[in-house]
């Protein structure tokens, strides 16, 4: 059911924390079926953007709007956004000791996709296939959520959730960091499977171009100091790899601008 | 009247209803030597039991309150406004059909008959002071397993009872063991013959219905050489604005090679004082495990203990405590290594929320003659909000240098990031908290029979409801 509305529509988004502005007028549109990338240095506001789309309670939106398929996300609680179809693969996934992976997956699928999707052989088959695709061992299901996971296991687990939850919008925050090249290939496979050929959209946040060799983005956006200063095709990622970010920084800081925002 | 009580009822406690009180015998409020003698006379007890009761009563009277735990809450107990004996049914029935209807309904609502059919070897159901229902599977009876309410135990096996009664917990042990010995009624008496393994658990369920009630059950379990048994107990009470008192004594004897596991899910309403003494003696190569969950009550003071008397014996105490608004769970464990090559493990987990207070109070000792003992103590606390409190009071007295002791303690808070992570997977804030809390309790819940584990998880989810400000 393709809708003509973009999956994600961010307009003039200003947000911050404790009166400190972090995002300063973000504009971003992801049409259905497209994968976009946001690149930028540490501290440029990438994770904050992801957190605000998901509804992290610590941040305050001071201006602008965020819509999912034409629906106002900012009015919703985080779990309502998840149920509406937003998924965030966390840069730092949290451990929940004592909560078993298998149990957690079932509960999350039930919460987001409905009870019926979370039981029976159909669910088990989906789970098994996704785990095979991501090279995850069965014993994983008995472990506790992110508890004692290696960096790579955490990232694979995020992608496993992505594959089972089938969101409208997948945001992947630094999913490539801490992964070796095989790991990157594996999670890229998962991301492609979840988004390509569907009406979903994806936002890949990274500060390397490596993952983008395996998940071809339709658009690449450069975030500097809370603002998107340049957008382009996949070739922009390669250009950034070669030239770094300095050449773009002037655009973010007009000559008499305030460095600290 | 009912509306007033309903208004006074606290929180979301689901077992807080009460039946009309249909007492067949009800003693006046308050305690005296005469009350103690009357209880004994009513039960037609042998003289030796009457005498122990009376001695215990005088000890109780002269013994000061404990000077630890929660002294101000203890001082609030009004021993004169408690009813020490109340009987609502004149017989202990073997068939639920014969149990008076309102009492049967209560146990139905609590799911006891259903559980019995599905996964239990035997059930005893105590209502106020007496067991109203009791049964054991025939095959166990044929193997010589004795499972009775304590009063019937004393009638039918006076010699066995006389031999072991007060042998593990003397009445002089503490003020409340003295009180229990003076006025005890009900509880379980179990004897498992040599080499018999009781595969499915037996269950006792304790229900207080009346207001200002005192329940003083007494349990004695003897597992003969090489035998094993798993005993589970649960308890609930109506929510009233005045306090009730539950003060039990449990004595376990694990003879050489025997294995006793004793599991409790305590869910008294928030107006019940729960002051209980539980102790076991493990002989050579025997094993005693206490799996102890404290969710309800106003004040609980309970430290399941094991005396490792025989070489190679093993003790485990796994406990959880949840302290919500107005609650103080002062719980822990005591283990005494008296013999060589004995091992013990204590795992204590406590959660405090809405100003509740959880304390771990533990004591482990190794006597000078006990060689090569191993001790492991882990206590973890999880604090859910700023006004709540957690303390630990661990004591280790190791008088033999060959002992290997490990002790770990941690206090953590639920982090906003953890809750946000779970909310991003479609779970409301309450559900997220329940997942974290149930995860924290998991090392305990996995030791319970499945049905109990499910119940406990539901209970904790309920506690998290309406808790978000
Ligand atoms: N919870 C927070 N509290 C205070 N400052 C924050 C918080 N989260 C992010 N920031 C600040 O916002 C800016 C952007 O951070 P972030 O979005 O994490 O960047 P990126 O993901 O691009 O590395 C940084 O200056 C960071 O210090
Ligand atoms: Mg980041």
Q: How confident is the model at residue A252 (pLDDT cuts 50, 70, 90)?
A: low
Q: Where are the alpha helices (DSSP H) in chain A?
A: 46-54, 78-84, 101-113, 120-133, 151-165, 181-195, 235-243, 246-252
> Quick one: pLDDT at residue A3?
57
How far apart, in Å, do the first and last CA atoms of chain B sit? 31
> Quick one: pLDDT at residue B2?
37
User: What's the maximum distance between 2 C-alpha atoms anywhere in chain B?
Assistant: 68
- Give the count of beta carbons closer than 10 Å to the beta carbon of residue B130: 22
**What is the C-alpha to C-alpha distance for residues B447 and A44, in angstroms, rounded to an integer?**
48
**Under 8 Å between Cβ of A154 and A145:** no
- Among chain A residues, CA nearest to B441: A98
> Does residue A2 surpass a pLDDT of 70?
no
A74 touches chain B (CB under 8 A): no
Tell me, what's the ipTM?
0.95
pLDDT digits (tens, 9 = 90+) for A105-136: 999 999 999 999 998 899 999 999 999 999 99
- When CB atoms are compared, the residue of B417, B431, B441 closest to A94 is B417
Beta-bridged to residue B163, according to DSSP, are none
SS3 state at B126: strand
Here the tokens at position A101 are: 């992976």
Residues surrounding ion ligand 2 at CB below 5 Å = A 46-47, 91
- Calculate the average pLDDT of chain B: 93
> Does residue B468 surpass a pLDDT of 70?
no
> Does residue B99 surpass a pLDDT of 60?
yes
- The residue ranking higher by pLDDT, B273 or B13, is B273
pLDDT digits (tens, 9 = 90+) for B246-293: 999 999 999 999 999 999 999 999 999 999 999 999 999 999 999 999
Ranking A125-134, A252-261, B102-111 by mean pLDDT, the lowest is A252-261
Give the distance (Å) from ligand 2 centre to CA of residue A50.
9
> Quick one: pLDDT at residue A221?
97
> Quick one: pLDDT at residue B448?
87
> Does residue A210 surpass a pLDDT of 90?
no
Q: Which of B310, B227, B237 is nearest to B270 (CA)?
A: B237
> Quick one: pLDDT at residue B398?
97
Q: How far is A109 from chain B (nearest CA, A)?
A: 8
Ligand with smallest separation from the Cα of A21: 1
**Under 8 Å between Cβ of B252 and B283:** no
> HSE of B200 in the Cβ direction (CA atoms, 13 Å)?
16
- The residue ranking higher by pLDDT, B15 or B295, is B295
Percent of chain B with pLDDT over 70: 97
Domains of chain A with CATH codes: 8-92+166-257 (3.40.50.300)
**Under 8 Å between Cβ of B373 and B306:** no
Q: Which of B278, B345, B340 is nearest to B316 (CA)?
A: B345
Residue B366 CA from chain centroid, whole number: 26
Average of pLDDT values for A229-240?
Answer: 94
Here the tokens at position B322 are: 């949840």
Here the tokens at position B274 are: 């729960």
> Does residue A141 surpass a pLDDT of 50?
yes
B410 touches chain A (CB under 8 A): no
DSSP state of A94: P
* From A14, A15, A43, mutation site for ligand 1 pocket: most ligand atoms within 8 A of C-beta: A43
> Does residue B23 surpass a pLDDT of 80?
yes
Average of pLDDT values for B204-221?
Answer: 95
> Quick one: pLDDT at residue B425?
98
> Does residue A259 surpass a pLDDT of 50?
no
Ranking A109-113, A253-257, B32-36, B192-196 by mean pLDDT, the lowest is A253-257
> Quick one: pLDDT at residue A251?
62
Backbone dihedral region for residue B71 (phi beyond 0: left; psi -120 to 50: alpha; all else: beta): alpha
Q: Which of A21, A91, A12 is nearest to A60 (CA)?
A: A21
pLDDT digits (tens, 9 = 90+) for B120-176: 999 999 999 999 999 999 999 999 999 999 999 999 999 999 999 999 999 999 999
SS3 state at B144: coil
**What is the C-alpha to C-alpha distance for residues B37 and B52, in angstroms, rounded to an integer?**
11
**What is the C-alpha to C-alpha distance for residues A17 and A47, in angstroms, rounded to an integer?**
13
Number of CB pairs < 8 Å for A and B?
82
């Amino acid at each position: 059911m393709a809708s003509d509305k973009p999956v994600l529509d961010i307009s003039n988004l200003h947000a911050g924390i404790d009166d400190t502005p972090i995002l300063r007028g973000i504009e971003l549109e992801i049409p259905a079926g497209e994968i976009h990338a946001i690149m930028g240095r540490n501290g440029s506001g990438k994770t904050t953007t992801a957190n605000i789309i998901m509804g992290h309670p610590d941040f305050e939106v001071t201006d602008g709007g965020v819509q999912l398929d034409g629906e106002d996300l900012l009015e919703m609680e985080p779990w309502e956004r998840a149920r509406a179809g937003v998924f965030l693969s966390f840069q730092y996934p949290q451990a929940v000791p004592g909560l078993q992976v298998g149990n957690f997956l079932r509960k999350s699928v039930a919460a987001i996709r409905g009870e019926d999707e979370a039981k029976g052989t159909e669910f088990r088959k989906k789970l098994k296939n996704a785990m095979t695709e991501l090279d995850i061992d069965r014993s994983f299901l008995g472990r506790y959520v992110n508890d004692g996971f290696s960096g790579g296991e955490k990232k694979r687990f995020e992608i496993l959730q992505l594959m089972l939850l089938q969101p409208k919008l997948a945001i992947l925050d630094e999913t490539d960091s801490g992964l070796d090249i095989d790991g990157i290939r594996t999670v890229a496979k998962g991301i492609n499977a979840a988004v390509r050929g569907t009406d979903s959209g994806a936002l890949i946040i990274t500060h390397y171009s490596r993952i983008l060799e395996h998940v071809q983005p339709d658009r690449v956006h450069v975030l500097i100091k809370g603002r998107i200063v340049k957008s382009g095709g996949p070739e922009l990622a390669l250009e950034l790899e070669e030239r770094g970010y300095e050449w773009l920084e002037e655009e973010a800081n007009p000559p008499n601008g305030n460095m600290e925002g | 009247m009912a509306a007033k009580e309903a208004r006074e009822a606290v929180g979301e406690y689901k077992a807080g209803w009460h039946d009309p009180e249909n007492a067949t015998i009800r003693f006046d409020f308050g305690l005296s030597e005469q009350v103690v003698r009357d209880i004994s006379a009513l039960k037609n007890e042998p003289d030796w039991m009457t005498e122990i009761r009376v001695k215990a009563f005088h000890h109780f009277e002269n013994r000061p309150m404990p000077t630890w735990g929660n002294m101000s809450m203890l001082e609030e107990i009004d021993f004169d406004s408690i009813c020490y004996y109340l009987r609502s049914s004149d017989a202990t029935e073997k068939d639920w059909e014969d149990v008076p209807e309102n009492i049967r309904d209560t146990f139905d609502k609590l799911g006891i008959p259903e559980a019995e059919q599905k996964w239990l070897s035997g059930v005893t159901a105590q209502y106020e002071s007496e067991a109203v229902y009791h049964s054991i599977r025939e095959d166990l009876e044929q193997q010589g397993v004795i499972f009775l309410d304590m009063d019937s135990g004393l009638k039918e096996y006076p010699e066995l009872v006389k031999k072991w009664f007060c042998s593990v917990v003397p009445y002089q042990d503490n003020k409340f063991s003295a009180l229990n010995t003076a006025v005890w009624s009900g509880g379980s008496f179990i004897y498992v013959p040599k080499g018999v393994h009781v595969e499915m658990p037996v269950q006792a369920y304790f229900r207080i219905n009346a207001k200002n009630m005192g329940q003083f059950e007494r349990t004695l379990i003897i597992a003969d050489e090489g035998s094993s048994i798993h005993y589970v107990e649960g308890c609930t009470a109506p929510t009233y604005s005045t306090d009730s008192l539950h003060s039990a004594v449990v004595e376990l004897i694990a003879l050489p090679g025997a294995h006793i596991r004793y599991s409790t899910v305590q869910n008294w309403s928030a107006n019940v004082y729960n002051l209980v003494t539980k102790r076991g003696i493990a002989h050579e190569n025997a094993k005693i495990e206490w799996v102890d969950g404290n969710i309800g009550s106003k004040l609980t003071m309970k430290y399941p203990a094991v005396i490792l008397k025989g070489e190679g014996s093993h003790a485990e105490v796994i406990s959880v405590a949840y302290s919500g608004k107005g609650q103080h769970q002062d719980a822990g464990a005591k283990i005494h290594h008296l013999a060589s090559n004995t091992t013990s493990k204590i795992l204590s987990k406590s959660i405090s929320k809405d100003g509740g207070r959880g304390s771990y109070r533990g004591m482990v000792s190794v006597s000078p003659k006990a060689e090569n003992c191993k001790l492991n103590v882990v206590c973890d606390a999880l604090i859910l909000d700023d006004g709540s409190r957690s303390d630990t009071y661990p004591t280790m007295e190791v008088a033999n240098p060959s002992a290997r002791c490990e002790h770990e303690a941690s206090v953590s808070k639920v982090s906003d990031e953890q809750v946000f992570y779970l909310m991003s997977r479609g779970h409301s804030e309450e559900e997220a908290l329940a997942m974290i809390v149930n995860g924290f309790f998991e090392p305990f819940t996995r030791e319970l029979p499945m049905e109990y584990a499910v119940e406990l998880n539901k209970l904790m989810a309920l506690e998290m409801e309406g808790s978000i400000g």
